[in-house]
Amino acid sequence: MSHSNGPRTGRPPVLAPRGMVCTPHYLASASGLDALRRGGSAVDAAIAANATLCVVYPHMAGLGGDGFWLIAGPKTGGVQALEASGPAALAATRDYYRERGCTDQIPARGPLAALTTPGAVDGWRLAHERHGRLPWASLFADAIMYARDGMAVSRSLADWLAADATILRQFPDMARIYLPGGRPQREGARLMQAGLADTFEQLAASGARAAFYEGPIARRICDALGPVGSPLRPDDFARYQARWVSPIATTYRGHEVVQMPPSTQGFAALQILNLLEGFDVAGWGDGTADYYHHMVEAVKVAFADRDEWLTDPDFVDIPLETLLSKDYAARRRKLIDAGQALAADQIEPGLRYGARLDRRGPDGDTVYFCASDADGLVVSIIQSIYHDFGAAVVGGDTGVIMQNRGSFFSLDETHPNRLEPGKRTFHTIIPAMMLKDGKPVLAYGTMGGEGQPQTQAAMLTRLVDFGYDVQQAIEAPRWLMGRTWGMASRDLWLESRISDETARELRLRGQPVKMVGRWDGTLGHAQAIRIDHETGLFEGGADPRGDGAAMGF
């Protein structure tokens, strides 16, 4: 139910009894809803929605990226976690990059940035094998149509085409597709991606393994990018498989909150909740300086551990049991002073590894979306090509934009996230799920790199502590503590709907406040579905900061 004190913009939560899909683009939500109406599962809906997102949101999603899934329902035996995150190519050594003039860091754009195997498509395969009901080929009809016949450029895509035009012009294949006539297309213009349509048709007809990973798509990508610097080879694609992993969890006020394990920052999101649980969040009241100050301080403390430890757990033994314990949170909570801000870059981690992550911005663009069906299956999924337009290179004639997630690896041999062949890098992207008495009651998440654990904490406190509905929790004024969009400093960004007096009080407490727009998309596009097991209704919400929609039936 809505809360009388929560924000209202005229967009109510969507209530429906049989199924729900929430994505950051209305056409993707419609694709997912169509899958549900045809008798598909929530997983079918998620794949169909993701495929459409790869076409209509090419700056944030794509076949060349990674994905992470949380799936739960009456027959899943708890929450199932699917990691579809590709490792570094076997040829991607630190020497490989030094020999090509990269001594400090891996370039964020260009063929050298395309060094990790795309994982998302094999994640679709695994999820569909376990939970799909519709034929595989039928899930890509909308994506093929929009790529072949064209779709209208949305507001978000138009903004990013304009912002990244200089980058896109450096790479002829990208410019040919996304800057026709040499200029970025405006909102409402028709964008066609014939190569991507061909790739989707092959994927639909032959499947993920035969078409993408062990077949012509991988070969064409590598044949195009290998000679100009990418270390990816067809064997890297053929060797890769997505995998089911064990999720991690904590409790928050009687609920179980579930996240992906490393190499994602999911444990930082859980640490934030552990820290907040020791405070009277409801007593502060939403929108107050006390609320924002404590939320931000909890983020700073959690990020100190994240930056110390987060990398591929196959290469570093991460002490998760300690980091997620309530006793550890109680000790770390003592660092938080209600009247004075901590200096974010000077907080020592509670446990030492020896070398901390350097945080480079921007932190990436992503799509978060969720789906539920009449059988009670709930999916929380996130997919990304990392930066806006990823590495800004297309894999030959495939139309596939390659992710640049591997550019976050360090070339420092002592660094926990140092580049090594076959290693997965630090991932910011995290889907989330909340359970009550073992049943999923909330699927939620957002895009926004470093802001993801923060926005998740904001949504959860506004739902659990303040009693908002999902749309109110999504729309409430947002903050972001951290470096974003290439900024050198770690500031506290506040949407300007937060009052001047609250911003002033935060500055008096030492917070490095910077104001942004009233509805600023750089602070994330969040979606959520809440499940009421008593009424059998799904309550969906989508973020007005993006182009999304919650759709149910």
Catalogue the active-site residues.
Answer: 366
Alpha-carbon span 67 to 70, nearest angstrom: 10
What b/e sequence results for 500-518 when a residue is b if at least 16 CB atoms lie within 10 Å of its CB, and e otherwise?
eebbebbeebebbbeebee
Q: Which residues pair with 362 in a beta bridge?
A: none
Preceding amide of 362 cis, omega within 30? yes
Residue 425 · residue 312 · CB < 8 Å: yes
Q: How would you classify the pairing of strands 248-252 and 243-245?
A: unpaired
Q: Which residues pair with 372 in a beta bridge?
A: 20, 378
DSSP per residue, 421-434: TTPPPPB----EEE
Which residues touch 296 (CB under 8 Å, ≥6 apart)? 341, 479, 481, 492, 511
Alpha-carbon span 221 to 65, nearest angstrom: 13
Q: Which residues pair with 190 in a beta bridge?
A: 152
Which residues touch 1 (CB under 8 Å, ≥6 apart)? 467, 469
Residue 327: other Cβ atoms inside 10 A: 9
- R_g of the chain, CA atoms, integer Å: 22
Alpha-carbon span 276 to 318, nearest angstrom: 23
CA dihedral 323, 326, 330, 336 (to 10 degrees): 60
Q: Extract the tokens encoding 383.
A: 């997919």
CA distances from 289 to 125, 399, 432, 517 (A): 46, 47, 27, 19
Alpha-carbon span 102 to 389, nearest angstrom: 22
- Among all chains, which residue has been given the structure tokens 């012509």? 216
Residue 181: other Cβ atoms inside 10 A: 6
Residue 60 · residue 368 · CB < 8 Å: no
Alpha-carbon span 334 to 278, nearest angstrom: 10
- Among all chains, which residue has been given the structure tokens 């799904």? 538
**How far apart, in Å, do the first and last CA atoms of the chain sit?**
18
Alpha-carbon span 207 to 214, nearest angstrom: 10
